Amino acid sequence: MKKEDLSKLSVEDLKKQIASATEALGKMKIGHKVTPLENPIVIRNNRKAIARLNTELTKRENQA
């Protein structure tokens, strides 16, 4: 998700996105340990997406 897309989301949507992305990351990590993923870069990309979401959420909380 791009920065422009994140700025359009509400705080509630950001929190939902963070929760779902974190859950998906956990499942990917466990699945990767059992049977290696075809493309393990997906784990890194998901982790970066979570960081972007957290950064946007923190920015909005500090503005309020």
Q: How far apart are CA 42 and CA 12, in angstroms?
A: 25
Do you know the residue count of the chain?
Answer: 64
φ, ψ for residue 39, nearest 5 deg: -130, 90
The model scores a pTM over 0.75: yes
Q: What is the pLDDT of residues 9-22, one digit of tens each?
A: 899 999 999 999 99
Q: 3-class SS at 38?
A: coil
Backbone CA torsion sign across 38, 45, 20, 1 = negative
Q: What is the pLDDT of residues 31-64, one digit of tens each?
A: 999 999 999 999 999 999 999 999 999 999 999 7
